[in-house]
Amino acid sequence: MASGFRSKLVRLCEILRDPHHVASFQRYCGVRGTFCRDSLNGHRHCRAEGEAADRQGRGEGETGDCNGRGDGEAEDRKGRVEGEAGDAPWRGKHAAADGVPNGLGKCVARETVRLRGASAENGDGGSKTPTCASAVKPRRRNSLTGDDGQEFLIENKLLYYLFTFGTELGNELFYITFFPFFIWNIDPYVGRRLILVWVWVMYLGQCTKDLIRWSRPASPPVVKVEMFYNSEYSMPSTHAMSGTAIPFSLFLLTYGRWEYPMPLGLVLALSWCVLVCLSRIYMGMHSILDVIAGILYSALILLLFYPALDVVDTFNQTCPYAPLAIISLHLGLGLFSFTLDTWSTSRGDTAQILGTGAGIALGAHLNRRLGLLPDPSQWQLPFSPPPFSAALLAGTVLRLLLGVVVLLATRTAMKAVTIPVICRLVGVPSHDVRQARQHMEVELPYRYIVYSTVGFNCFFLVPFLFSYVGLC
């Protein structure tokens, strides 16, 4: 009985991990790839660019060609591209084992034409072009390889912009604006604890990726709407983890502390979570299984660590040895995470997350000692949102603009200074920054120093400037 349940569970996981479900969702949302050209017999054929690598991964007897096949000829004509090169990566533990880079199949058409599943086909195998489709390329290049991806078609611009916004809710630009905005303008008490949750969730998620080492969904059949994180591992989705942890932690931390209807808070948290999770499938970055695992993993972390939030935050604020403990703990966690795998961009993200958490904790400790950004008095609970006014809006906008400018300037200056200095200290050539950052001894201190400085300034330097110019 147990073995039957296990086999059913394994089968379910295989189904949820199938990249064709991702491709089907993309087509339903109006995303079309530009992978291969139609041949006269109605099948898709594309010659692999890396035949030698494919032969090493699959055996000398295989040709490296990928022949599309579907559930039927009608489905095949709608643009479903699959085969050895598309199926192998998602089944293996690591894409390199199949001769295919992480989630990006090496099937490259000699003569590409745009596939439109909803278009009527001509007698010669061509397709009619829908007038509403727009040709687009991924907005940002791959953070490791510099690959700018393949052009694709967008037939529903509303969904494209909606899911682009959703995926940005898990990216650096959002974090560097949302967290500071909340700290400077709403409630620093909640902001500190929210960042603690974010650090725990993201650190464990990134480490788990490097332990499981599953590749991204294969392309084709998946269209890579985003390329920036394509070199990272896939399981679990850390966007789904943060998209679950942040909104629901925000609800748990603010409900009862601030006056607002419970249904409103739950609906906003759920909407945030669903938008981020669906955006990762739309972008072609994660399978359905990755996203579900990210949600469940994040919920488990919240269940275990949320009760400790008060103890940890109080220790960081009041203990005289907190700065030493904060620095040591975050550095130790970073060193541990860098031993889990060879190079991947998730290691740098891990150091960035730990550095931000350390900087915020140190800045908050010093802030409390100097009284720059005090927590609201507990006797005022529950807090009511202040009445809207032009002065309130002006102060909020000014604090946000001034603070974010300071943080961005800090990040830019520290990046320009840190990498050359560290490269000189460890004896790594600095003329190629991308290559230099693939050395653990460069990437770990670089990310840690830069983002710990940003986090520290968020809770210390910026509030000091606010008090100096009268924006408190």
pLDDT attached to residue 298: 94
Are 84 and 175 contained in the same domain? no
Mean pLDDT (whole number) for 328-342: 73
3-state secondary structure of 249: helix
pLDDT attached to residue 92: 39
Are 176 and 243 contained in the same domain? yes
Mean pLDDT (whole number) for 267-294: 92
Q: How many domains does the chain have?
A: 2
Q: How confident is the model at residue 334 (pLDDT cuts 50, 70, 90)?
A: confident
Distance of CA 260 to the CA centre of its chain: 30
- Which of 238, 236, 414, 442 minimizes the C-alpha distance to 348? 442
Kindly state the percentage of the chain with pLDDT values over 70.
73
Cis preceding-peptide flag for 220 (omega within 30 of 0): yes
- Which of 95, 113, 115 minimizes the C-alpha distance to 105? 95
Q: How confident is the model at residue 56 (pLDDT cuts 50, 70, 90)?
A: very low
pLDDT tens-place string over residues 64-98: 443 444 444 444 444 443 433 344 334 333 333 33
Q: How confident is the model at residue 444 (pLDDT cuts 50, 70, 90)?
A: confident
Asked, for residue 5, whether it belongs to a domain, the answer is: no
Mean pLDDT (whole number) for 252-264: 89
Are 108 and 217 contained in the same domain? no
Asked, for residue 358, whether it belongs to a domain, the answer is: yes
Mean pLDDT (whole number) for 22-48: 63
Are 191 and 151 contained in the same domain? no
C-beta atoms surrounding 318 within 10 Å: 11
Are 316 and 194 contained in the same domain? yes
What is the distance between the alpha carbons of residues 250 and 27, in angstroms, rounded to a whole number?
Answer: 34
Asked, for residue 442, whether it belongs to a domain, the answer is: yes
- Which of 429, 285, 447, 314 minimizes the C-alpha distance to 375? 314
Question: Count of residues for the chain?
Answer: 472
Asked, for residue 2, whether it belongs to a domain, the answer is: no
Name the amino acid, one letter, at 336: F
Residue 42 has pLDDT above 80, yes or no: no
- Which of 12, 32, 8, 115 minimizes the C-alpha distance to 282? 32
Are 134 and 186 contained in the same domain? no
Q: Could you tell me if residue 461 is left (phi over 0), alpha (psi between -120 and 50 degrees) or otherwise beta?
A: alpha
Residue 182: which domain range?
167-469
What is the distance between the alpha carbons of residues 33 and 81, in angstroms, rounded to a whole number?
Answer: 10
Kindly state the percentage of the chain with pLDDT values over 90.
18
Domain boundary among 116, 131, 160: 160
What is the distance between the alpha carbons of residues 268 and 383, in angstroms, rounded to a whole number?
Answer: 19
C-beta atoms surrounding 398 within 10 Å: 13
Query: What's the number of CA atoms in the CB half-sphere (13 Å) around residue 183?
Result: 29
Are 178 and 147 contained in the same domain? no
What is the distance between the alpha carbons of residues 214 and 89, in angstroms, rounded to a whole number?
Answer: 9
DSSP secondary structure letter of residue 29: T
Residue among 43, 45, 286, 330 flagged as catalytic: 286
Residue 108 has pLDDT above 60, yes or no: no
- Segment of 127-131, 184-188, 225-229, 293-297 carrying the highest mean pLDDT: 293-297
Mean pLDDT (whole number) for 183-195: 89
Give me the helices (H) in 29-100, please.
Answer: 51-58, 73-77, 84-91
Asked, for residue 206, whether it belongs to a domain, the answer is: yes
Catalytic site includes residue 439: no
The two structure tokens encoding residue 63: 């040709």
What is the distance between the alpha carbons of residues 300 and 372, in angstroms, rounded to a whole number?
Answer: 35
3-state secondary structure of 398: helix
- Strands (E) in 61-198, as ranges, are 65-67, 134-136, 152-154
Are 127 and 105 contained in the same domain? yes
Residue 54 has pLDDT above 80, yes or no: no
Mean pLDDT (whole number) for 255-269: 90
What's the mean pLDDT when you consider all of the chain?
Answer: 75
Are 171 and 148 contained in the same domain? no
- Number of alpha helices (DSSP H) and beta strands (DSSP E) in the chain: 18, 6
pLDDT attached to residue 340: 57
Catalytic site includes residue 286: yes
Q: What is the CA radius of gyration of the chain?
A: 24
Asked, for residue 423, whether it belongs to a domain, the answer is: yes
Are 341 and 197 contained in the same domain? yes
Are 272 and 133 contained in the same domain? no
Please answer whether residues 195 and 357 qualify as being in contact, where contact means their C-beta atoms are separated by less than 8 angstroms: yes
Name the amino acid, one letter, at 161: Y
Asked, for residue 4, whether it belongs to a domain, the answer is: no
Mean pLDDT (whole number) for 110-124: 37
Q: Could you tell me if residue 331 is left (phi over 0), alpha (psi between -120 and 50 degrees) or otherwise beta?
A: alpha
Are 444 and 371 contained in the same domain? yes
Asked, for residue 13, whether it belongs to a domain, the answer is: no
Residue among 20, 43, 45, 239 flagged as catalytic: 239
C-alpha distances out from residue 228 to 29, 85, 242, 346, Å: 21, 22, 18, 11
Instruction: Write down the pTM of the prediction.
Output: 0.74
pLDDT attached to residue 133: 66
pLDDT tens-place string over residues 142-151: 655 566 667 7
C-alpha distances out from residue 258 to 30, 186, 190, 322, 378, Å: 41, 10, 11, 29, 11
- Strands (E) in 115-210, as ranges, are 134-136, 152-154
Domain boundary among 118, 145, 160: 160
The two structure tokens encoding residue 267: 């609906």
Mean pLDDT (whole number) for 223-250: 86
What is the distance between the alpha carbons of residues 58 and 104, in angstroms, rounded to a whole number?
Answer: 16
Lowest mean pLDDT among 88-92, 131-135, 289-293, 294-298: 88-92
3-state secondary structure of 218: coil
pLDDT attached to residue 321: 87
**Backbone dihedral angles phi then psi of residue 461, each to the nearest 5 degrees:** -65, -45
What is the distance between the alpha carbons of residues 115 and 133, in angstroms, rounded to a whole number?
Answer: 11
Residue 123 has pLDDT above 50, yes or no: no
Domain boundary among 118, 144, 160: 160
- Which of 373, 287, 291, 365 minimizes the C-alpha distance to 326? 365
Sign of CA dihedral 420, 424, 427, 429: positive
